[in-house]
């Protein structure tokens, strides 16, 4: 539906019959989009972003890095493979809601355990279908990621003034520490490895390296990749101190992905990382927010992007090798490469906009990347990063 259409106007369904709008997306500038609601009822407020991936909607919705965001999916076939517990990146969806072109259809996949609409409803997440997602995506690209309110009411009753007011009142992600909201409550061990045919998920029974992973919003598949690389993984909350990390006598430290403003999370994470770097020679590896945390600890700055990078088809150039990797991205902040201090080398750049996608210390096995190697979009282009981490720990032993 186009912006400005009265809420009482009929919505064209795929069958050419008319139905009443049961969902409304309100932007902070007053623009309104009407469509068909599915999933939970009620409303939510968040930053609106778009994701260009053709697969992985369940992984996207359960990725903790999407906390505080409503996701517009540019690919129209969302829901057609259903949902399965094996694809959850955390226990429940973290993204506030989803926007799609076509209403989710009945699933057709041998792995499906439930329908997307039922899954969203059971987990309190709102969806809206029937929108012109191309128009919405263009608006986000041109004007930046807007603040938005999404409402679903089966009766089609919306207080649009109140929804716009909620969107306007949303503080945004700048200055917002969301890692504390998605991190684990207490430490735990992880030994599950990556899925492989025909066994599925198996356990790491002969680990060679002890790794402490700081959970700023860690995806399960990252932990699986560490286990598959021979690591005995202990996960600690985002607020863990250097003393708590070193108490586990690790061979290496991993900094996970996560949501929110890196500068806000850095208030407590950066001093911990600096102490690790200043007092030990441990290998350190970071992904996404972990990449930004490491950059801040080394003296660089981060900046808010116009609309961020969200998708599974982002080309990134490795400046050390000249190779190009097809990567999965999910970030609204970036490391400002112009602020990297002496001794910190830029290793990767986005071929979309030349933004920073990786760094390393010149003289130590300390490195990080902005993208998500565990998401396997290449599909194996970036898996070497986990092996590199394992090799650095082996060399230190």
Structure tokens at 295: 């950059």
Query: How many Cβ atoms are within 10 Å of 206's Cβ, its own excluded?
Result: 6
Q: In sequence order, what are the beta bridge partners of 33?
A: 25
User: How far is Cα 72 from Cα 54, in angstroms, rounded to an integer?
Assistant: 12
CA torsion, points 192, 193, 198, 199, in degrees to nearest 10?
Answer: -30
Which of 137, 117, 141 is closest to 129 using CA atoms? 117
Q: Say if residues 397 and 284 touch (Cβ distance below 8 Å).
A: no
Using DSSP's 3-state secondary structure scheme, residue 333 falls into strand
Which of 250, 242, 179, 246 is closest to 215 using CA atoms? 179
Q: Where are the beta strands (DSSP E) in 29-144?
A: 32-39, 42-51, 69-73, 97-99, 126-129
User: How far is Cα 275 from Cα 265, in angstroms, rounded to an integer?
Assistant: 16
Structure tokens at 364: 């130590």
Which of 248, 185, 184 is closest to 211 using CA atoms? 248
Residue 19 CB partners (closer than 8 Å, separation 6+):
10, 11, 13, 36
User: How far is Cα 386 from Cα 392, in angstroms, rounded to an integer?
Assistant: 10
Query: How many Cβ atoms are within 10 Å of 141's Cβ, its own excluded?
Result: 12
Q: Say if residues 365 and 392 touch (Cβ distance below 8 Å).
A: yes
Which of 311, 315, 312, 264 is closest to 292 using CA atoms? 264
* Residues with a known catalytic role: 288, 372, 374
Using DSSP's 3-state secondary structure scheme, residue 208 falls into coil
Which of 195, 204, 228, 256 is closest to 390 using CA atoms? 228
Using DSSP's 3-state secondary structure scheme, residue 149 falls into strand
């Amino acid at each position: 539906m186009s912006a400005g259409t009265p809420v009482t106007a009929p919505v064209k369904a795929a069958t050419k019959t008319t139905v009443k709008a049961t969902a409304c997306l309100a932007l902070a500038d007053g623009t309104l989009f009407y469509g068909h609601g599915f999933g939970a009822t009620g409303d939510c407020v968040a930053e609106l972003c778009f994701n260009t991936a053709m697969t992985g909607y369940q992984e996207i919705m359960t990725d903790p890095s999407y906390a505080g965001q409503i996701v517009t999916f540019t690919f129209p076939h969302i829901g057609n493979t259903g949902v399965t517990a094996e694809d959850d990146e955390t226990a429940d969806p973290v993204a506030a809601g989803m926007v799609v072109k076509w209403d989710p259809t009945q699933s057709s996949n041998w792995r499906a355990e439930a329908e997307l609409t039922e899954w969203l409803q059971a987990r309190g997440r709102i969806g809206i279908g029937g929108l012109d997602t191309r128009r919405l995506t263009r608006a986000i690209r041109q004007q930046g990621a807007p603040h938005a309110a999404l409402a679903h009411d089966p009766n089609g009753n919306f207080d649009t003034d109140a929804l716009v007011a909620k969107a306007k009142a949303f503080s945004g992600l700048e200055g917002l520490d969301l890692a504390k909201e998605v991190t684990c409550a207490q430490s735990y061990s992880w030994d599950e490895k990556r899925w492989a045919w025909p066994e599925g998920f198996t356990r790491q029974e002969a680990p060679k390296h002890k790794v402490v992973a700081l959970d700023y919003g860690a995806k399960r598949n990252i932990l699986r990749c560490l286990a598959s690389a021979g690591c005995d993984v202990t996960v600690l909350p985002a607020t863990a101190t250097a003393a708590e990390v070193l108490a586990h006598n690790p061979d290496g430290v991993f900094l996970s992905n996560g949501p929110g403003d890196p500068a806000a999370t850095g208030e407590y994470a950066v001093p911990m990382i600096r102490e690790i770097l200043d007092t030990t020679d441990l290998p350190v590896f970071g992904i996404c927010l972990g990449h930004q945390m490491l950059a801040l600890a080394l003296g660089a700055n981060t900046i808010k992007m116009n609309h961020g990078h969200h998708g599974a088809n982002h080309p990134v150039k490795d400046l050390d090798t000249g190779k190009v990797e097809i990567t999965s991205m999910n970030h609204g902040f970036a490391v400002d490469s112009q602020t990297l201090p002496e001794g910190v080398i830029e290793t990767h750049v986005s071929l979309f906009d030349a933004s920073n996608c990786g760094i390393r210390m010149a003289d130590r096995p300390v490195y990080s990347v902005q993208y998500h190697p565990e998401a396997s979009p290449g599909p194996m282009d970036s898996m070497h990063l986990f092996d590199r981490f394992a090799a650095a720990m082996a060399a230190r032993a």
